[in-house]
Each structure stands twice: as structure tokens, then as C-alpha cells.
Amino acid sequence: MKENNSIGIVKPKIFKCTSPIKLSCGKTLDNYELIYETYGKLNKNKDNAVLVCHALTGNQHVAGRHKKIDKYPGWWDSLVGPGKPLNTNKFFVIGINNLGGNEGSTGPKSINPKTKKIWGADFPIITVEDWVKTQKTLINYLGIDKLSSVIGGSLGGMQALEWNIQFPYEVNNTVVIAAAPNLTAQNIAFNQVARQSIITDPDFQKGNFYASKNKPKRGLRIARMLGHITYLSNDVMGSKFGRKTKNKEYQFNFDTEFEIESYLNYQGDKFANEFDANTYIRMTKALDYYDPTKKNKKKLSEVFKKIKSKFLVISFTSDWRFSSSRSKEIVKGLLDNNINVSYAEISAESGHDAFLMSDNHYHEIIKSFFNRIFKS
Amino acid sequence: MKKFNQNSRYDFSIIENWTHPNSKVLDLGCGDGALLNYLKEKKDIKGFGIEKNKENWLLSLKNNIDVIQMDLESGLAGFETNSFDLVILSRTIQSMKNIEEIIHEMMRVGKEVVITFPNFGYWRNRLQILQGNMPVSEELPYKWFETPNIHLCTIQDFDNLCQKNKIKIEQRLILTDKKSVNFYPNFFGALALYKLISK
């Protein structure tokens, strides 16, 4: 793979927060740790900070490599780096592994300080609102009062939106990509199937599997396979795999026959070895629960009343999990409040995953928006 | 796609005269955002653009315009009634399918509406037809086989449409070569500019 202008070797850092956080679920964490990475330099005025919020299975490792030999760079390396659309020569970019995450931030795998045992099933469900609160604490710890921008796709886009609801005065620009103001019933349904596949895996052991040598890999594997199907479009699956088979003749057994099966198996296995089941089911819950209109039963345009930042909203034509019509709801809420907003509906065949792709037009849009920010 | 030329600047200044200072303006089919930037500079407006074409959309974004990518043919569903002081449709209406629908939507969303279009009744167009060809001119730069213009009309046609839809023409200005035309405008006028309000 050709990679120009990568940020190079990066090192994750730890933020230890000793002040307690009251979570949406009612529980309190007395202290917690967040793993984060930064790219580029914070300027003198401390006004060039951009927070990148990650999606369901993402993490703080947005760009660059931890080791030279790492096979893959960070998950948004195509977008973030020197001279890239989100240019680290101009902006100070921050990636945070969310609370409850898989990369070392305090989560289900961590030790519960009260019991001195692994949290496991007892780890609380963290919401988008909680994440934004903890992100804000970390941003302030870095000496930043106000973000130049917050950007995120999918669940990350929900966090970017939530920043504007909780801290309207602390963010100047917002990029919301392939997101929605809340999930549809169909979306929640997919999440439920994913969760059920994990919870009903006998190896899940009600979430307390850490001491056991059996991990709920079967459940995670199926959850990931399902996810992958829904993140792609029928068209892109057709053009990538079609009905291609491994062998010329059918084998008439249940081994991998079609290439799409092989792809799903590979993705499922890879994920099941890397990702924590407790984190996964909690992250999908955060998606399901997010709904800024629920509190006080307000309309989106009322919820957006205090927003000050300038918005860029992007959707992709083939994304059926977070369809364009959902992004348009966000745009309408912003327009109703006279908020500066640009909206692009990008023709892309990759489905929901398009937000991670390196489409030229898509990257040109992000680049132009950040150029505007840099100039002003 | 809209083609801008030097002459567009002139109708910008007329639209500027029809625009209240500090008002909220929506430009449908905003192209590269030139008109909105002109109005921002001259009248300190708060402007939004709508543009379907992705290259034009990107130009608008680069030109500091807040621009929404959508197809006008599906109406202005994302916009509240009376949410804009002025809604503009400049040199675009002749390429649209549902003329009455978009005018209706503009009147709903805007307190005032500006529509401009090339007058098909202009004598030079009539002459070209008499000579046996579809007109090609500065205002109608496309050849018949490549034109996006499917609903060309004359000033008289547009007046009749306004009457039919009970739309009040508040102001009307007809131009040829940057000069206002008062004598038999449907014959001597190349470009028509209308300011409309609901009756």
C-alpha cells in the first residue's frame, strides 16, 4: 500500500483522571484512565486542536504506527497526517479511546478499585454523553479551553454532535459524517442480534470470562460478520465478491464455498481475537441509547438552540444503516436555528464504511472545510 | 450547470437592490456561490446556497458559502415556512421539471422571492427561430442537443403563470445588454428579473 505523508511512529499516552464522574446510568466512577494520542503541535493560542471521535470498534490510534513493523496504520491515517485533508502541519489532532474501550482506557477488562477484581459484567454501560464529558476533561487537562473542531463518523459523529449540545461554547467547528441524531428501530435490531450472539455464547459466562481460558469468540465473530454485512452495500459486495467461489465446482458441504463467506470468516476471526466482548455489547448500547431529543421530549431544532459552531454534515448515498435522510434531519435542525451548515451527499458504493474510505471528492471536501477553518 | 459570465455581475447588482441589509437569503442552484458572496459583501446578508452538482458544490464550499447539496426537484422539505427573507432562483428555472412546484415552495419558504430567466421571446431568439434554428445566445449558450433548458418561456408566459397562481409581481425588470428595457419588453428584453410576493 502506498502511504504518503504519514505521521510516522506515534506513542499512546495515558490520562489518569482522579476526579469522579457521575455516569448517565446513575453509577459513579471514582477515577478512570483514558488512552489517547496526539498528532501535530498545539499552537501558542491553543486554538488549533481537533478532536477525532471514534466509532463502534475504533480507538485512539487515528494515524501513524506504533511500531515500524505494524501492518496497518491508525484507522483514519488516510485522512489525518502532514499535508492530508486534516493536516497535522496546521492542526493539533487528538484521538481518545473512549471510556469502556478496548485499547486500555478504563473498561470491563480493568480492575475495579473497590473489589480489586476485574470489572467484567459489573462494568457500567457508558453513554455518548458520558464519553463527551470525559473527553472534555482530557481536553482541559491538555490546556485546551476550546476545540477548533470536533470530527467523527457514525457513532463518532454522534459524539461530535453531543459536544455541541453539552458544550456549545467550547467548540468552533463540527464535522458529522455518516451519522444520525438517533438510531432507527432497524438499526437497534441489528445491534440486538449482535448482542444476543455474544450473550448467548456459552463462553461469555455472563460477562465474567476473563479468568477462564474460553473467550466468547464465536459470539463476537458472528456479531462482527453481521456488522460487516450491514456496513457494506449490496452493490459493493456484488462488485467485490459477486458469486465468486473458491473452487471451480461446488463442494456440496458446509466448508467455505463462496468468497464472501471467506471474507466474513476472516473479518470475524480477526475481530474475535482482538476485541473485548463486554466492550462490544456496551458500545452498541451507547449507540442505541443516544437520543438528544429524549430528554424533555424536545424536537431536534429545540435541542440545537444553543449551538454556536459551524457544521459540515456528510452522508453517503449507499449507506443504508445511517442513511442520508438521517443526516438531513441534523441539517434541518441546524438550519432551523440559523446555524452555519454545509451538507454533502456523496455518491459512493461502499455503504456505511464509505466514511473510512479514501474517495477523492470526500477528502477534498474535508480538506476544503479545514482550509476554511485554518484561514479564519 | 450554470454558466456565469461578465453580464451576470450586472443582474447581481439588481438583485442586490432588491435585497434588504442583514437579511437571510437562500440561493437555489447557487453555482460557485458568487451571487451569495456578492450579497454578503454588499448587504451583509446571512446566506445559504443549494447546489446539486458536486463540482459546483465544492466551489461554493471553497468560496466560504454554507451550501446544502440537494436536488431542487424534490422541493424544499428541509426548510421551514417563512424561514428566509429572500429566496432566489437565478437563471435556473428554465432547466427545472416542476416549475409550479418550485415556485410554490419558494413562496412558502421565503417572505420574498426573486426569479430570473432568459426571455425566449427576445427578438434575437425569434429571429433565429424564423431562420429555422433553435436560438443560441449569451443568455442561452447551449445548442439544442446539449441544453439543460427544458422549460424555456417568454415574459408573457411567466406573467400568465404568476396570475394563474395568484402570485403578486412586486417588481419586474427586463434587461438587454445591461440596460433596462421598457418598450415592448417581451420582444426587446433578453433577461427577465422578477421580485414576487404572495397575494
Report pLDDT digits (tens) over A120-171. 999 999 999 999 999 999 999 999 999 999 999 999 999 999 999 999 999 9
In a domain, A6, yes or no: no
For residue B10, what pLDDT is reported? 82
In a domain, A105, yes or no: yes
Q: Percent of chain A beyond pLDDT 90?
A: 97
Residues A118, A256 within the same domain? no
For the beta carbon of residue A11, count every other beta carbon within 10 angstroms.
Answer: 8
Closest residue on chain B to A314 (Cα): B69
ipTM score: 0.93
Contact flag A342-B62 (C-beta cutoff 8 Å): no
Domain ends where: A222, A252, A284?
A284
In a domain, A2, yes or no: no
Grid cell listed for A201:
455464547
- Measure CA A131 to chain center: 11
Domain that residue A195 falls in:
188-284
Give residue-wise pLDDT tens across range A230-269.
999 999 999 999 999 999 999 999 999 999 999 999 999 9
Residues A86, A147 within the same domain? yes
Residues A193, A271 within the same domain? yes
Reported in sequence order, the residue ranges of chain A that DSSP labels E, i.e. its strands, are 13-17, 21-22, 28-29, 32-39, 49-53, 80-81, 86-87, 92-96, 111-112, 117-118, 147-153, 171-177, 310-316, 341-346
Residues A143, A232 within the same domain? no
Domain ends where: A284, A304, A328?
A284
**Model-wide pTM > 0.90:** yes
* Closest listed residue to residue A270, CA positions, set A223, A213, A214: A223
pLDDT, average across residues B124-137: 96
Q: Provide the pLDDT confidence category of residue B2 given band limits of 50, 70 and 90.
A: very low
Q: Percent of chain B beyond pLDDT 90?
A: 90
Which residues neighbour A300 within 8 Å (Cβ) at sequence distance 6 or greater? A181, A292, A293, A329, A330, A332, A333
Residues A143, A217 within the same domain? no
Q: How far is CA B158 from CA A145, B116, B161, B171, in A?
A: 56, 11, 5, 13
Residues A177, A115 within the same domain? yes
**Catalytic residue annotation of A:** 154, 319, 352
Residue A224's domain is classified under what CATH number? 1.10.1740.110
* Domain total of chain A: 2
Average per-residue pLDDT for chain B = 94
pLDDT above 50: residue A12: yes
For residue A4, what pLDDT is reported? 66
For residue B199, what pLDDT is reported? 62
Domain ends where: A228, A253, A284?
A284
Instruction: Tell the burial category of B171 from Cβ atoms under 10 Å away from its Cβ (0-12, 13-18, 19+).
Output: middle
Contact A82, A39 (CB under 8 A): no
Residues A156, A296 within the same domain? yes
Grid cell listed for B97:
421539471
For the beta carbon of residue A9, count every other beta carbon within 10 angstroms.
Answer: 11
Which residues neighbour B164 within 8 Å (Cβ) at sequence distance 6 or greater? none
Distance CA A316, CA A355 (A): 8
CA-derived radius of gyration, chain B: 16
Q: Break chain B into its structural domains and give their ranges.
A: 8-198
Q: Which residues of A touch B (CB under 8 A)?
A: 310, 328, 331-332, 335-336, 338, 340-347, 361, 364-365, 368-369, 371-372
Residues A68, A129 within the same domain? yes
Phi–psi pair at B43, nearest 5 degrees: -125, 5
Residues A119, A200 within the same domain? no
Residues A29, A112 within the same domain? yes
Distance CA A68, CA A10 (A): 10
Residues A152, A245 within the same domain? no
Contact flag A331-B78 (C-beta cutoff 8 Å): yes
Q: Which residues of B touch A368 (CB under 8 A)?
A: 58, 61-62
Residue A175's domain is classified under what CATH number? 3.40.50.1820
For residue A60, what pLDDT is reported? 97
Query: Which residues make beta-bridge pairs with A74?
Result: none
Contact flag B70-A341 (C-beta cutoff 8 Å): no
Distance CA B64, CA B58 (A): 10
Q: Does domain B8-198 have CATH number 3.10.450.50?
A: no
* Closest listed residue to residue B92, CA positions, set B108, B77, B106: B106
Give residue-wise pLDDT tens across range A46-91.
999 999 999 999 999 999 999 999 999 999 999 999 999 999 999 9
For residue A96, what pLDDT is reported? 98
For residue A281, what pLDDT is reported? 98
Helices of type H across A69-148: 128-141
In a domain, A4, yes or no: no
In a domain, A212, yes or no: yes
What are A294-301's contacts with CB under 8 Å, separation 24+? A294/A182, A299/A333, A300/A181, A300/A329, A300/A330, A300/A332, A300/A333, A301/A332, A301/A333, A301/A336, A301/A337
Contact B76, B106 (CB under 8 A): yes
Q: Provide the pLDDT confidence category of residue A295 given band limits of 50, 70 and 90.
A: confident
Distance CA A42, CA A44 (A): 7
In a domain, A318, yes or no: yes
pLDDT above 60: residue B7: no
pLDDT, average across residues B44-55: 97
Distance CA A366, CA A316 (A): 14
Instruction: Tell the burial category of B163 from Cβ atoms under 10 Å away from its Cβ (0-12, 13-18, 19+).
Output: exposed
Q: How far is CA B97 from CA B5, B74, B92, in A?
A: 25, 10, 11
Q: Provide the pLDDT confidence category of residue B198 given band limits of 50, 70 and 90.
A: confident
Looking at the complex, report in whole angstroms how far the Cα of residue B151 sits from the nearest Cα belonging to chain A.
27
Closest residue on chain B to A331 (Cα): B78
Distance CA A267, CA A231 (A): 13
Q: How far is CA A42 from CA A49, A107, A143, B123, in A?
A: 7, 29, 9, 64
Nearest-5° Cα angle at A336, A289 to B194: 150
Size of interface A-B (CB pairs under 8 A): 51
Q: Provide the pLDDT confidence category of residue A1 given band limits of 50, 70 and 90.
A: very low
Residues A167, A134 within the same domain? yes
Amino acid letter at A221?
Answer: R
Closest CB to B46 among A338, A344, A361:
A338
Q: How far is CA A119 from CA A212, A286, B99, in A?
A: 14, 18, 63
For residue B3, what pLDDT is reported? 45
